[in-house]
Amino acid sequence: MALRPNDTPDVVLIGAGIMSATLGTVLKELEPSLSIALFETLEDCGLESSESWNNAGTGHAANCELNYTPQRPDGSVDISKALEVNTEFDLSRQIWAHLVRKGAIPDPRAFIHPCPHMSFVWGEENVAFLRARYAAMAAHHCYHGMEYSEDHAAIAAWAPLIMEGRDPAQPVAATRIVTGTDVDYGALTHLLVGHLSGQGVEVHYNRQVVALDQEGDGRWRVTVADTYDGTRQSVLAKFVFIGAGGAALDLLQASGIQEGHGYGGFPVSGIWLRCDVDAVTQRHHAKVYGKAASGSPPMSVPHLDTRVIGGRTSLLFGPYAGFSSRFLKHGSLTDLFRSLTPDNIVPLLDVAKDNVALMEYLVGQVLQSAQHQFATLQHFYPRARRGDWKEAVAGQRVQIIKPEPQGGGRLEFGTELVAASDRSLVALLGASPGASTAAFIAMEVLQRCFPEHLTEEGWLPALKRMIPTYGIDLRTDAEACRRIRAETAPVLKIETV
């Protein structure tokens, strides 16, 4: 599309991934008259972290990810973080179901498929952990229907590939919940952006935001460059959302807002092993998560996943973490170095000092041979054949380095919104669980930047039509949780219990 943008849009969205697509969709549902412009550096939407093969598509509901359920010193398991993520995914389900009902998404199978979520461990210590985890989770209504077994035959019935060829004397344990999903966030991003475009949202590809300057009246002058010929134009926007993945840190720094001072980023790359052999893929229908290696980041938790992309079923294993100085898969090797500022050097050095184990882990992953990587797969799938698998590069992630009030910094593995005090600009930093909680992040943006509209006379009625449980804590309201899951499952054509 030629760049002839509205010179004064109400909202500018930077980055055409699942985050901007979700926020734009929500804002248009709540206020159809809003003028919105979306700018993307690449030639299409959803080509970075949202791209189908760049993430695991787990539809993170914290069913199977063991890093969300740490074990306490007394042996009990803390499921509080898991419950947060679990009920955040319910917001996504409600928005998606609303869009399906109104015809904005013609068929949910274009982006979401039922896929059981499993946790699988071996060794007596790990089995004891999973047993304690199951006891805590199964007692809560959010995990109704979760199953547990230490029986080889029962686990083989759930996921035969992970048990065939395994020592029958090896202690093993698994949990399974059939309400899990596989989500193609690339396909979903295309559906949402297409819907937005049909509503009059201006979508501009091959346009890189190169400057953000706040005018005296509070509006933001957003300057964009044509990635082909370098020509520049600018628009004045009342509100700017920076949802540009790894590029968000650079743009936050460019905005100059006080709240962004001191933030840094640490990039982590990833590699998958991918199998497209039908004889293998048709025998595994689950996302099976194991325990992460000591010192590893959450994105490197090993898992053997069913993926359904473009109507084709494949398996992914990994990811194997690594290091690249790029902040985006299509980024520059200078990204990390250009992000260094006098404000974030001390937090970065502080994090490096306190995370030696992580650095050693990433160096070890980079130096791993292909043979070593395949041996890790065989811990999950003992009879895996090397010829059935090929290497695939995953999306790039940038972990947050957050400045501490007393000085120094802290490495954060989640996502964080950094908003200007006047609520005119907000940047989304961070990685996992990312896409799965895009709807929750959109709600956070509304609450932090548009609180005056969240009234019965304003946006609340439309918001509650889109998210019927808005304002209800599904962690404590068992009946509301049961009801909304029962209502959204058939609309999305996924399983319920």
Give 197's Cβ-side CA count (13 Å radius): 14
What percentage of the chain's residues is helix, strand, coil (to nearest 5)? 40, 25, 40
Neighbours of 362 (CB within 10 A): 21
In the block, tokens 């194991």 appear at 290
Task: Tell me the backbone φ, ψ of residue 425, rounded to 5 degrees.
Answer: -150, 140
Confidence class for position 2, pLDDT limits 50, 70, 90? very low
369 and 450 part of one domain: no
Return d(Cα 221, Cα 479) in angstroms, integer: 47
446 and 493 part of one domain: no
- Taking the alpha carbons of 186, 192, 197, 203 in that order, is the dihedral positive or negative? negative
User: Has residue 4 got a pLDDT over 70?
Assistant: no
User: Has residue 491 got a pLDDT over 90?
Assistant: yes
162 and 107 part of one domain: yes
Alpha carbon distances (Å) from 19 to 8, 185, 436: 22, 10, 10
Confidence class for position 127, pLDDT limits 50, 70, 90? very high
Between 210 and 403, whose confidence is greater? Answer: 210
Write down the pLDDT at residue 1. Answer: 42
187 and 42 part of one domain: yes
Whether residue 252 is contained in a domain is answered as: no
User: Has residue 215 got a pLDDT over 70?
Assistant: yes
Write down the pLDDT at residue 5. Answer: 61
Return d(Cα 127, Cα 210) in angstroms, integer: 52
Whether residue 441 is contained in a domain is answered as: yes
Confidence class for position 110, pLDDT limits 50, 70, 90? very high
Between 375 and 72, whose confidence is greater? Answer: 72
Tell me the residue range of the domain where 132 lies.
Answer: 60-179+485-497
* Digit-coded pLDDT (tens) for 14-38: 999 999 999 999 999 999 999 999 9
Q: What is the CATH number of the domain that holds 456?
A: 3.50.50.60
- Flag the least confident range among 362-376, 379-393, 466-480: 362-376
Write down the pLDDT at residue 461. Answer: 97
Mean pLDDT across the stretch 105-131?
97
Mean pLDDT across the stretch 353-363?
56
239 and 281 part of one domain: no
Specify the number of domains making up the chain. Answer: 3
**Per-residue DSSP letters for 316-369?**
EEEEEEE--S-SSTTS-TTHHHHT--TTTHHHHHHHHHH-HHHHHHHHHHHH--
User: Has residue 447 got a pLDDT over 50?
Assistant: yes
Across the chain, mean pLDDT equals 90
Return d(Cα 87, Cα 432) in angstroms, integer: 16
Whether residue 255 is contained in a domain is answered as: no
Write down the pLDDT at residue 60. Answer: 84
Please tell me whether the peptide bond between 461 and the residue prior to it is cis, using omega within 30 degrees of 0: no
Angle at which helices 185-198 and 80-101 cross, to 10°? 40
175 and 276 part of one domain: no
The rounded percent of the chain whose pLDDT value lies above 90 is: 71
Return d(Cα 91, Cα 484) in angstroms, integer: 10
Whether residue 387 is contained in a domain is answered as: yes
397 and 335 part of one domain: yes
User: Has residue 367 got a pLDDT over 60?
Assistant: no
Alpha carbon distances (Å) from 59 to 93, 378, 486: 10, 25, 17
Write down the pLDDT at residue 298. Answer: 53
Residue 385 token pair: 């054949």
User: Has residue 432 got a pLDDT over 90?
Assistant: no
Of 361, 94, 401, 145, residue with least CA distance to 262: 401
Residue 250 host element (H or E): helix 248-255
Between 78 and 343, whose confidence is greater? Answer: 78
Three state DSSP letters for 16-73: CCHHHHHHHHHHHHHCCCCCEEEECCCCCCCCCCCCHHHCCCCCCCCCCCHHHCCECC
* Rg, the chain, Cα only: 22
* Digit-coded pLDDT (tens) for 171-182: 999 999 999 999
Confidence class for position 353, pLDDT limits 50, 70, 90? low
Whether residue 124 is contained in a domain is answered as: yes
Return d(Cα 44, Cα 2) in angstroms, integer: 14
191 and 45 part of one domain: yes
Altogether, the residues listed in the chain come to a count of: 497
454 and 491 part of one domain: no
Write down the pLDDT at residue 395. Answer: 78
The β-bridge relationship of strands 172-177 and 147-149 is: antiparallel
User: Has residue 295 got a pLDDT over 70?
Assistant: no
Whether residue 253 is contained in a domain is answered as: no
Write down the pLDDT at residue 293. Answer: 60
Reduce the DSSP state of residue 379 to 3 states and report it: helix
* Digit-coded pLDDT (tens) for 44-70: 999 988 899 888 888 889 999 998 999
User: Has residue 332 got a pLDDT over 50?
Assistant: yes
Return d(Cα 201, Cα 33) in angstroms, integer: 10
267 and 412 part of one domain: yes
Mean pLDDT across the stretch 112-138?
97
237 and 325 part of one domain: no
Mean pLDDT across the stretch 450-469?
97
Residue 129 token pair: 């952990």
- Flag the least confident range among 28-37, 106-115, 130-139, 262-271: 262-271
Return d(Cα 19, Cα 32) in angstroms, integer: 19
Whether residue 153 is contained in a domain is answered as: yes
Write down the pLDDT at residue 299. Answer: 54
Whether residue 315 is contained in a domain is answered as: yes
236 and 378 part of one domain: no
Return d(Cα 245, Cα 16) in angstroms, integer: 10
